[in-house]
Chains A and B, each alone.
Chain A
Amino acid sequence: MRYSEVRGKAKYSKKGQIGLIEMIMVIFIVTVLIVVGIVFYTGVLKQSIQKKGGEILSQKAEVELRAIQGMPEIECSKNVRREDCIDTLKLLIAKEVIDGEEKGYYATIFGRKRVLVKQVYPELQGQVENQECTQEKYNQEVYPNNCDTWIIYESRPATITEVNKISVPVSLYFPNAAEDRKNEYRIGELIIESYR
């Protein structure tokens, strides 16, 4: 074989190899770009789904607020009072039933939430503020001036990433209120804290 023929053969072989390497590099870079694009898209999609999830949770909380306000377990029954109101005697009982002995049942209704009622008017200040109303407080002569909060239900997850709080004003009915043994009305707030 002459020298020029050998040189030619080597030249073509190197050209082929270079061509192949170029091909591989092009495909590699295109793949990297595609992967980067997918990662970016997935990130944006995930954020959008999380935002949607937050909106759905908000909407659900608003619907549940109205539904809880009308639950027979806490609302004033028609022979007790015709006006829409929340019966504070039932609120005391709710703690024993809804957040106590029947919690398993009500967990499917409420889910991961804290549901409470707080008196806002007349304002009770000082040591009484944020005091939970319990059976002991109910038995005292000064009730309902010795507490302003009734916790109906509470179920927190192990880790909380988001809390969505929503509330609505309600009329609170006190049957046989302490001061003069007459039934009494006050103004309160029904609060739902939804956990994620």
Chain B
Amino acid sequence: MKEKRGIAPVFQYIFVAIAGIIILSFFVQSALRQSNISKEVGNIQTVNALEDNLRALEVATNANKEIQLAAKQGITVNKPVCGVLRVENSPQIRTQEAIFSNTELKADKLKVWTVSWEYPYRIMNFFFLADGQTEYIVQGTGRLAEELVGIQRQGEPCCDNFEFIPKIFNVKTNSYTPQSGQVKKYVFINQEPTVAPAPTAEVLKIQTDGEKCDEQGNREDSECTGVVTFYKEEGQETTVFFGKAMLYGSIFAKDKKSYDCSLEAAFERMEKVTKVYEKRAEKLFAKDMQDQLSPNPTYLRIKESLHTLITTLENKKIKVRQLTQADLQEIAQQKEIIQNLNEVLRSEGKGQVF
């Protein structure tokens, strides 16, 4: 009898303990889940805020900014596929922007620079992103190498809107002795590299077509073209650039693969904008025909040239990862024709197409 009386309270204690453990584990699980959800919500807010910041900068022709993030976060750009942006484990955001940067950034303060790309009309803005972990060391004896880091030659008349890589990026010149610890990107302008690529040393060579990329004589940015070579430990890869903004892009892109992502985005947008101008030329011609007995044939010629450019872009888009100097020449020539025809319209006192 006494043994049976003793069993009941023990059973109660066991029952209470089990129930308490179940309730406690439920709350602990809820708390952990809530913490994960808060983190995910934070990442989604950050990636949306980043996208909004980029879109807001789109209206500027040249602007730079440091975007403060809530904490040091990992940002993935154009990885694993082109045209995606992601913060930590947030869902990927698809973007049509051309973003030149490392594929993986880690920062609490993201440096952003945007420049308008014109070829020959304004097409889109390019964005250059950096996390401050990389030192950019520009090497070269020519004018362009100096201008990229903001050095204007003394005593020479310069230029409206002198453009250079903003100081927020760690851009140094020939005479700089690199600090250890940071990743360095060596940019050789019109000269052979004197540094071999290594895990903490990226090497890039930019070969410009003549002297068309420096600011002398207020040259148009669209005249700046050339070839870019990305050096890696396993070899080198070459591509082209057309327009000054694209030259900057090659400096900030991690490698050729990342650069090609943005090049694709640029081609895509260029095709769409060119279609708009082709139709504009067509409508101006039609209106001219309505008004006059002999409408201006320049509208028709420029329309046809724009159409040729669209066809060229469609063909090049397919092989954007294997672009050569011959492709660059072809696009550059068509651009020259279109630009000249537009100038003819101006000289004839007619409304220009762009």
User: Could you list which residues of chain A lie within 8 angstroms of chain B, going by C-beta atoms?
Assistant: 9, 12, 16, 19-20, 23, 27, 30-31, 34, 38, 49, 56, 59-60, 63-64, 66-67, 69-70, 72-73, 77-80, 87, 89-90, 92-94, 96-97, 101-102, 105-106, 108-109, 138-139, 175-176, 181, 183
Contacts and interface: CB of A to CB of B under 8 A. Distances in A.
B268 A175 contact: no
B16 A23 contact: yes
B301 interface: no
6 contacts: A16-B8, A34-B23, A77-B354, A79-B352, A97-B272, A108-B95
A79 B30 CA distance: 61
Interface class of chain B by DSSP? helix
Interface string B76-114: 000000000000000000111000000000000000000
A59 B345 CA distance: 42
A79 B272 contact: no
A173 B276 CA distance: 16
Contacts of A181: 291
Given A93-B279, A97-B279, A77 B15 contact: no
Contact of A72 (B16, B41, B122, B346): B122
Given A80-B351, A80-B352, A175-B351, A102 B48 contact: no
B278 to A, nearest CB: 9
B52 A59 contact: yes
Contacts of B275: 97, 101-102
Contacts of B232: none
A66 B346 CA distance: 30
A18 B352 CA distance: 96
Given A30-B23, A89-B280, 7 more contacts: A34-B23, A49-B41, A56-B45, A92-B283, A93-B280, A105-B96, A176-B351
Contacts of A64: 55
Contact of A97 (B16, B41, B48, B276): B276
Per CB-CB distance, the 10 closest pairs between chain A and chain B, nearest first, are: A70-B59, A16-B8, A77-B354, A93-B279, A67-B55, A79-B352, A72-B122, A63-B52, A67-B58, A63-B55
B28 interface: no
Nearest to A84: B59
Given A89-B283, A108-B94, A72 B273 contact: yes
Q: Which of B1, B30, B279 has the most CB of A within 10 A?
A: B279
A28 B87 CA distance: 43
Interface residues of B, number: 43
A105 B108 CA distance: 32
B351 A19 contact: no
B124 interface: yes
Contacts, number: 96
B63 to A, nearest CB: 12
Contacts of B354: 77, 79-80
Contacts of A56: 45, 48
B12 A19 contact: yes
A176 B352 CA distance: 12
Contacts of A176: 284, 287, 291, 351
B114 to A, nearest CB: 12
A67 B8 contact: no
Interface of B: 1, 4-5, 8, 12, 15-16, 19, 23, 30, 41, 45, 48, 52, 55-56, 58-59, 94-96, 121-124, 268, 272-273, 275-276, 279-280, 283-284, 286-287, 290-291, 342, 346, 351-352, 354
Given A9-B1, A96-B279, A102-B275, A175 B15 contact: no
A181 B288 CA distance: 10
Contacts of A20: 8, 12, 15
Nearest to A183: B351
Contacts of A138: 283
A63 B56 contact: yes
A73 B55 contact: no
A79 B342 contact: yes
Contacts of B291: 176, 181
Contacts of B58: 67, 70
Contacts of B122: 72, 77-78
A92 B122 CA distance: 19
Contacts of B41: 49
Contact of A90 (B123, B276, B287): B276
B346 A79 contact: yes
